[in-house]
Amino acid sequence: MLAGCESGLFAVTLGEGSVELTPQAARPGAPMKVTGRKLAAPLFPFPDMRFNDGRCDRQGRFWAGTTVQDMAAAANPAGALYRFDQRGVLSAPVVDGLITQNGLGWSPDGTTMYLSDSHPLRRQIWAFDYDVETGEPRNRRVFADLNHYVGRPDGAAVDADGCYWICANDAGALLRFTPQGKLDRQIAVPAIKPAMCAFGGRDLDTLFVTSIRPAAGASEHDGHVFAVRPGVTGLPEPEFAGEL
């Protein structure tokens, strides 16, 4: 989970908290060095917890959610969603009761927030009304129930039409839902566990998709990154608007 900053730094959430990363100039041919500084971390209610998925809202607030490290061990709803704002303040849990937080995204005008839970016992995507002034999500409702489709909801992206793309983990597919929650596109990828998607390229018309290589039974392309031309364009990812 990484967001650029106007200063040229990066805000990133790794493991137990948010970190500022500063790339260091290196001589030609030498690996780039990066220094890190811890910014904030919540008090986890259980051991072996970590952050999972995150991104900035349209106003530049950095959001990230937590999960119990071993997803297969237990369906523990100890995960929560946090907001790291422009003042450098980490919120209390804004949304709690999550097993495996994922799928953050915002509509083009920023007034709808999307959030998912990837755990096999959940497989839910929710939409919220989002207050762009305060950064508060309200009116949580089911946007798409993937128990009625394929896979588990993993990383997501929103396109310029306001449609929500989700990686269907364990199903080797990308699903596109309209703002009304209707499935209107399904694209197969040659990897069983697509994990995150993001629009890029000069015209933001390429959807880049990462995938996870399973521990057993991996195919030739599992663990690869794919570039898909879906025929629509994406939106620029907002930078973190705070001062680090």
Catalytic residues: 154
What sign does the dihedral 34-37-40-42 (CA atoms) show? positive
Q: How far apart are CA 184 and CA 115, in angstroms?
A: 19
**8 A C-beta contact, residue 60 and residue 38:** no
Q: Is 72 strand, coil or helix? A: coil
Rounded to an integer, what is the distance from CA 182 to the centroid of its chain? 21
Q: Phi/psi of residue 131, each to 5°?
A: -80, 110
Query: Token pair of 217, please?
Result: 């039974």
Q: Is 163 strand, coil or helix? A: coil
What is the number of other CB atoms lying within 10 angstroms of the CB of residue 153?
29
Q: Phi/psi of residue 121, each to 5°?
A: -85, -10
* CA-closest candidate to residue 154, choices 185, 118, 119, 183: 118
